[in-house]
A and B are shown apart, each in its own frame.
Chain A
Amino acid sequence: MTTQPLVNPSASLQLAEQTPPQVVLDNLVKEYGTLRALNGVSFNIASGEWIALMGPSGSGKTTLINILGGLDTATSGSVAVNDQEITRLNESALVRYRAEKIGFVFQQFHLVPYLTALENVMLAQYFHSVTDESQAVEALKRVGLADRLEHLPANLSGGEQQRVAIARALINQPKLILADEPTGNLDEANEEIVINIFRELHKSGHTILMVTHDVDIARNASRRIELTHGHLTLDTTCNFLEQPKLCPHGKPFPSSGCCTTLDSKPCTP
Chain B
Amino acid sequence: MPNLASKNRSMFRRLVRRLLFANRGRLFVVLLALSAGAAVSAALLNLQVDAKRRISSEVRSFGANILVLPRSSGASLDATMPETTESQLRSPLDARLSVHSGMFLYAIADAAPNVPLKFSPVVVVGYSGYLPGSAPLDSLLRRAELQMGKTGSVVGATCIVGQTMAARLNVHFGNQVFLRNGDRQMACVLTDILKTGDAEDSQIFLSLSNVQQLSNASGRISVIQINAFGSSKEIEQYAMQLQKDLPDDDVRPLRQFTEAQAKIYSRISGLLTAATATILILTALCVMAAMTNIAAERKHDVGMMKAIGGSARGILNLFLTEAVLLGLIGGLIGAAAGIALSVALGKAVFGVAALPRLIVYPISVTLTIIVAILGAYPLRRLANVRPATIFRGEV
Chain A residues with CB under 8 Å of chain B are 63, 66, 69, 71-73, 91-92, 95-96, 98-100, 104, 106, 108, 110-115, 119, 122-132, 168-169, 172
Given the known inter-chain contacts A92-B311, A99-B309, please indicate yes or no for A71 contacting B7, CB distance below 8 A. no
Are the CB atoms of B388 and A126 closer together than 8 Å? no
- A108 partner residues in chain B, CB cutoff 8 A: 300
Whether B304 lies near A112 (C-beta < 8 A) is yes
Q: A71-B388, A114-B23, A122-B11 given. 9 additional CB < 8 A pairs?
A: A71-B386, A71-B391, A73-B386, A95-B312, A104-B308, A112-B301, A125-B11, A127-B308, A130-B4
Count class of interface residues, chain B? 20 to 34
| Most A Cβ at <10 Å: residue of B10, B22, B304, B314 | B304
Q: Which of A63, A131, A168 contacts B308 (CB 8 A)?
A: A168
Asked if B136 lies at the interface with its beta carbon under 8 angstroms from chain A, I say no
Interface residues in B1-45 (C-beta closer than 8 Å to A): 4-5, 7-8, 10-12, 14-15, 18-19, 21-23
Contacts of B4 in A (CB 8 A): 129-130
Interface assignment of B133: CB less than 8 Å from any CB of chain A: no
Chain B residues with a Cβ under 8 A of chain A:
4-5, 7-8, 10-12, 14-15, 18-19, 21-23, 300-301, 303-312, 314, 386-389, 391
A124 partner residues in chain B, CB cutoff 8 A? 308-309
Contact B7 A104 (CB under 8 A): no
What residues of B have a CB within 8 angstroms of the CB of A69 in the complex?
A: 307
By a CB distance below 8 angstroms, the chain A residues around B21 are: 114
| Residue in B closest to A65 when the chains form the complex, CB atoms | B388
Question: In the complex the two chains form, is A126's CB within 8 Å of B15's CB?
Answer: yes
Known contacts A71-B388, A99-B309, A123-B308; is-contact A131 B8 (Cβ 8 Å): yes
CA distance A92 to B389 in the complex (A): 18
How near does chain A come to B76, taking the closest CB pair, in angstroms? 85
Q: How far is the CB of A165 from chain B (nearest CB, A)?
A: 9
Find chain B residues with CB under 8 A from A127 CB: 305, 308-311, 314
**Contact B308 A66, beta carbon cutoff 8 Å:** no
Residues of A with C-beta under 8 A to B14:
119
Contacts of B306 in A (CB 8 A): 71, 95, 98
A252 to chain B, nearest CB (A): 33
By a CB distance below 8 angstroms, the chain B residues around A125 are: 11
**B386 in contact with A72 (CB, 8 Å):** yes
Closest B residue to A165 using CB positions: B304
- Would A126 and B11 be within 8 Å (CB), given that A72-B388, A119-B18 are in contact? yes
Question: Across the interface, which residues of B come within 8 angstroms of A119, CB to CB?
Answer: 14-15, 18
Contact A110 B15 (CB under 8 A): no
- Please state if A98 and B19 are interface contacts (CB–CB under 8 Å): no
Interface centre among A92, A95, A108 (most CB of B within 10 A): A95
19 CB contacts below 8 A, A to B, read: A66-B388, A71-B387, A72-B388, A73-B386, A98-B307, A98-B308, A106-B307, A113-B22, A114-B23, A123-B308, A123-B310, A124-B308, A126-B8, A127-B309, A127-B311, A127-B314, A131-B7, A132-B7, A169-B308
Alpha-carbon separation in the docked complex, A99 to B307 (Å):
8
Measured between beta carbons, the chain A residues less than 8 angstroms from B391 are 66, 71, 106
* Of A91, A95, A106, A130, the contact of B310 (CB 8 Å cutoff): A95
Residues of B within 8 A of A169 (CB): 308
* Interchain CA distance A161-B4 in the complex, whole Å: 28
What's the least CB distance linking A114 to chain B, in Å?
A: 4
Partner of A71 from B19, B22, B301, B307 at Cβ < 8 Å: B307
**Interface pair A110/B309, CB less than 8 Å apart:** no
A128 to B301, CA, bound (A): 16
A124 to B386 Cα, complex, angstroms? 18
Contact residue among B5, B10, B308 (Cβ-Cβ distance under 8 Å from A99): B308
Contacts of A71 in B (CB 8 A): 306-307, 386-388, 391
Determine the distance from Cα of A104 to Cα of B388 in the docked complex, in whole angstroms: 12
CA distance in complex: A116, B14 (Å) = 11
Q: Are A123 and B388 in contact (CB under 8 A)?
A: no
With a cutoff of 8 Å between Cβ atoms, the chain A residues found around residue B309 in the complex are: 95-96, 98-100, 124, 127-128, 172
Residues of B within 8 A of A128 (CB): 309
A132 to chain B, nearest CB (A): 7
Residues of chain A contacted by B388 (CB below 8 angstroms): 63, 66, 71-72
Min CB distance, A152 to chain B, in Å?
10
Instruction: Using A71-B387, A72-B386 as known contacts, say yes or no to A95 and B311 having CB atoms under 8 A apart.
Output: yes
3 tightest Cβ-Cβ pairs between the two chains A and B: A99-B309, A72-B388, A114-B22
Distance in Å: Cβ of A73 to nearest Cβ of chain B: 8
Which one of A71, A106, A115 has the highest number of Cβ atoms from chain B below 10 Å of its Cβ?
A71
Contacts of A91 in B (CB 8 A): 312
In contact, A131 and B11 (Cβ under 8 angstroms): yes
Closest Cβ of chain A to B377, distance in Å, is 20
Smallest distance from the beta carbon of B323 to chain A beta carbons, Å?
Answer: 16
How far apart are the CA atoms of A118 and B312 in the complex, in Å? 23
Least CB distance, B36 to chain A, in whole angstroms: 26
A66 to chain B, nearest CB (A): 4
Most buried by A among B19, B21, B388: B388
Bound CA span A216–B336, Å: 65
Chain A residues with Cβ under 8 A from B301's Cβ?
A: 110, 112-113
Contacts of B307 in A (CB 8 A): 69, 71, 98, 104, 106, 110
With both chains docked as a complex, state the minimum distance between the C-beta of B178 and any C-beta of chain A, in angstroms: 92
Interface residue from B8, B300, B305 paired with A130 (Cβ < 8 Å): B8
CB distance from B394 to the nearest CB of A (A): 10
CB contacts (< 8 Å) of B15 on chain A: these are: 115, 119, 123, 126
CB-CB under 8 A from B8, the residues of chain A are 126, 130-131
Residue of A nearest to B18 (CB): A114
Q: Are A123 and B19 in contact (CB under 8 A)?
A: no
* Interchain CA distance A122-B300 in the complex, whole Å: 18
The smallest beta-carbon distance between A24 and chain B, in angstroms, is: 21
Complex Cα distance, B18 from A106, in Å, reads: 23
Bound CA–CA A172/B4 (angstroms): 16
A217 to chain B, nearest CB (A): 21
Residue of B nearest to A100 (CB): B309
